[in-house]
Amino acid sequence: MKTLTKSNPIRFIMLGGFLGAGKTTALLRLARIYTKRGLRVGIITNDQAEGMVDTLAYREAGFTTEEIPAGCFCCHFEKLIEASGRLADGLKPDIILAEPVGSCTDLVNAVITPLKSLYTDQFVVAPYVALLDPIHALEALSVTGATGFSRKVTYIYKMQQNEADIVAINKTDQLDPAKLERVEALVAQNFPRATCLSVSAITGAGFDRLVSLLDEPGEAGLNPAQVDYKRYTEGEIALGWLNAQVAVSAAAPWDGNAFLMVVAQSVRAGLIMGGAQIAHFKMRLVDEQGREAALHATSNEGTLALAQCIDTPVSTGRLVVNLRAEGNPETLQQSVETALKAVEMALEVDCSIERCEAFAPNPPSPPPPERNRIRT
């Protein structure tokens, strides 16, 4: 790792939160804010598999990005340090932004505490932020609300907020004032140790305050969680994970936007039929000219809409699918494969699956005690 002094350490900012909370959009906004200050920003992504849409998005935006696949930061702390070292040796960043897996918790004990105790010369650790989707919060935290997720999965959701220094309610641009006030009250009631603020990663509302809190000196990781690893494991393995890469071509140009909508509608219908609940569903289509169309969904309900469009017909393209849902991995894979067959018939295109992984995450492991010992 690059030799750093206490007068010039890397500021390490980790922004967690449940699947679909908007972490990627929020981190991109933070990265651009720090870049405008003249600071060099490196990013580390994390997933249970390879081929993340998020990693592609960061790199396309021009940010040097390391990806840690096949397990969360909690279980691969050494890989996090190695990735940080590669950024330090190459980019020499002032800031590292880290995005943990959306089903990961116990990050204070497993990541922040050992960074503070073992790498004090290399890093200054910022307060830990958990981003929160307000609709999921209303479902998971309200006494009368009916969540789409089981109690097993909701346990992870609650523990993520419980260990945060800052709980940032995201997507406030989608809420009326009364609903936002209700979410803020639920967060304050359930997570009284955290600083609560409301933001919108889309509009930038509230980000001046968030950055100010991240820049403040002082201790990070003040709310270590008492995680029940039996319940944590039950929540993890209840989730299905799918990452796929697909080559798409046709004899005549085709509508890339319609392609994504047909696939999304069919995937969601298959998941609903199979009793699965979407946590986060991302697709990204890149054509031969490098143009992109993208679609995101975070539940089984609501209108599907493109986040990004391609304005003219496409000749060939590559599709990346990231799907996380509470449900059987086989249901996820069958839904995607059926959707690709449906779009082949609807738009007369050929979809060739180059890689597809569908699985339940491995059980998480508590951090070993030696991680938290102060290095001498």
**What would the pLDDT profile of 104-132 be if each residue is shown by its tens digit?**
999 999 999 999 999 999 999 999 999 99
Q: Pull the structure tokens for residue 20.
A: 């679909």
For 292-321, the DSSP string reads EEEEEE-SSSS---EEE--SS-EEEEEEEE
Contacts of 127 (CB under 8 A, 6+ apart): 165, 166, 195, 213, 214, 216, 218, 220, 221
- pLDDT tens figures, 363-372: 998 888 766 6
Place of tokens 């691969």: 76
Contacts of 63 (CB under 8 A, 6+ apart): 31, 41, 42, 43
CATH number 3.30.70 is the correct assignment for the domain at 239-359: yes
Residues, the chain: 376
Half-sphere exposure of 52 (CA within 13 A, CB side): 25
- pLDDT tens figures, 39-68: 999 999 998 877 678 888 899 899 999 999
Neighbour count for residue 323 (Cβ, 10 Å): 27
pLDDT at 4: 39
pLDDT classification of 155: cutoffs 50, 70, 90: very high
pLDDT classification of 170: cutoffs 50, 70, 90: very high
Domain with CATH 3.30.70 in the chain: 239-359
pLDDT at 293: 96
pLDDT at 13: 98
Q: Is the pLDDT of residue 374 over 60?
A: no
Output the CATH code of domain 10-235+364-372.
3.40.50.300
**Cα–Cα distance measured from residue 301 to residue 294, given in angstroms and rounded to the nearest whole number:** 18
Q: What's the one-letter identity of residue 170?
A: N
DSSP alpha helices (H): ranges in the chain?
Answer: 23-36, 53-60, 77-90, 107, 113-118, 134-141, 151-162, 177-190, 207-215, 229-237, 256-273, 329-347
DSSP three-state, residue 235 = helix
Q: Is the pLDDT of residue 376 over 80?
A: no
- pLDDT tens figures, 314-330: 999 999 999 999 999 99
Domain with CATH 3.40.50.300 in the chain: 10-235+364-372
- pLDDT tens figures, 201-230: 999 999 999 999 999 988 899 999 999 999
DSSP state of 127: P
Mean pLDDT for all residues in the chain: 92
Nearest to 75 by CA among 375, 373, 368, 376: 368
Nearest to 21 by CA among 162, 185, 184, 202: 202
Report how far apart, in Å, the C-alpha atoms of 295 and of each of 245, 257, 284, 336 are.
Answer: 15, 9, 7, 14
DSSP three-state, residue 255 = coil
Which of the pair, 2 or 168, is modelled with greater confidence?
Answer: 168
- pLDDT tens figures, 215-271: 998 889 999 999 999 999 999 999 999 999 999 999 999 999 999 999 999 999 999
Give the gyration radius of the chain's Cα atoms: 20
Contact 2, 89 (CB under 8 A): yes
- The b/e string for 335-347 (b: 16+ C-beta within 10 A; e otherwise) is bbbebbebbeeeb
Nearest to 276 by CA among 364, 358, 161, 183: 358
Q: How far separated are the first and last CA of the chain, in Å rounded?
A: 18
Q: Is the pLDDT of residue 142 over 80?
A: no
pLDDT classification of 340: cutoffs 50, 70, 90: very high
pLDDT at 143: 60
pLDDT at 3: 41
Helix axes 207-215, 23-36, angle to 10 degrees: 70
- pLDDT tens figures, 131-140: 999 988 988 8
